[in-house]
Amino acid sequence: MSTQASRQLILALHDIWNSGSVEQIPEIYGENCAVHWAKGWGPASSGHAQIKEAILHTRSIFPDWHEDVLDMVVTPDKVVTRYCSTGTQHKEYLGIAATGKKVQFEEISIYRIQDSLVVEQWCLGDDLYCIAQLKGGGKPRTG
Each residue's pLDDT expressed in tens, for the chain with a length of 143 residues: 899 999 999 999 999 999 999 999 999 999 999 999 887 777 889 999 999 999 999 999 999 999 999 999 999 899 999 999 999 999 998 888 999 999 999 999 999 999 999 999 999 988 888 888 889 865 655 55
Domain that holds residue 106: 3-134
How many structural domains does the chain have?
1
For residue 69, being part of any structural domain is answered with yes
For residue 143, being part of any structural domain is answered with no
CATH at residue 21: 3.10.450.50
Running DSSP on this structure, what letter comes out for residue 98? Answer: P
For residue 140, being part of any structural domain is answered with no
CA dihedral over 62, 63, 64, 65, signed as positive or negative: positive
CA dist., res. 27 & res. 23, Å (int) = 9
Phi-psi region of 46 (alpha: psi -120 to 50; beta: other; left: phi over 0): beta
For residue 141, being part of any structural domain is answered with no
* Bridge partner residues of 86 (DSSP): 66, 104
For residue 142, being part of any structural domain is answered with no
Q: How many other CB atoms are there within 10 angstroms of residue 48's CB atom?
A: 17
For residue 94, being part of any structural domain is answered with yes
Identity (one letter) of the amino acid at 58?
A: T
Model pTM score: 0.89
For residue 36, being part of any structural domain is answered with yes
For residue 7, being part of any structural domain is answered with yes
